[in-house]
Amino acid sequence: MIFEVKSPILGFERVTRMEFEKIDELFMRVSNPDGDGGVPTFTLVNPFLLRNYEFEIPTALKLLLDLDNCKNLLVANIMVLQNPIEDSTINFLAPLVFNFDNHTMAQVVLDSINYPQYSIAEPIRVYCDKSETNTQATN
């Protein structure tokens, strides 16, 4: 599914369209549908499956994405993949917001002073350990 980028992704200000692909409930990816070599593929995660995650979407972005009329909204965070996977990091300070009703998206950049509980590069291992602990506790 192709989305129009209404507010730039940091570092990729010239990107105007991204193709969204759901992998499973936790992972997704966005890539350049036009095949331009300068735009990478981003691996995304569903933050709500990992932690409590709340933030305020600025009014300007609500208007750009027409969120007042949106019934199908998705929030995802960019994950930087590393080897091993446990060394991968998640950026909780710059979520991507997708409006599936009108196929628009934008990046929200959160102020770390207002959201001290979120990090720009939080290791996914923090959540892998919790998942393994929960699995062991139920066995």
Over range 17-41, report the average pLDDT: 88
**Half-sphere exposure of residue 27, counting CA atoms within 13 Å on the CB side?**
8
Model confidence at 139, in pLDDT bands (50, 70, 90)? very low
Output b/e per residue, 11-40; b: 16+ Cβ within 10 A: ebeebeebebeeeeeeebbbebeeeeeebe
Asked whether the predicted pLDDT for residue 130 surpasses 60, the reply is no
Over range 97-116, report the average pLDDT: 97
Taking each continuous run of H as one helix and of E as one strand, the counts in the chain are 2, 9
Q: What is the pLDDT of residue 129?
A: 61
Domain residue limits, the chain: 2-138
Q: What is the pLDDT of residue 26?
A: 94
Over range 11-39, report the average pLDDT: 88
Architecture of domain 2-138: Roll (2.30)
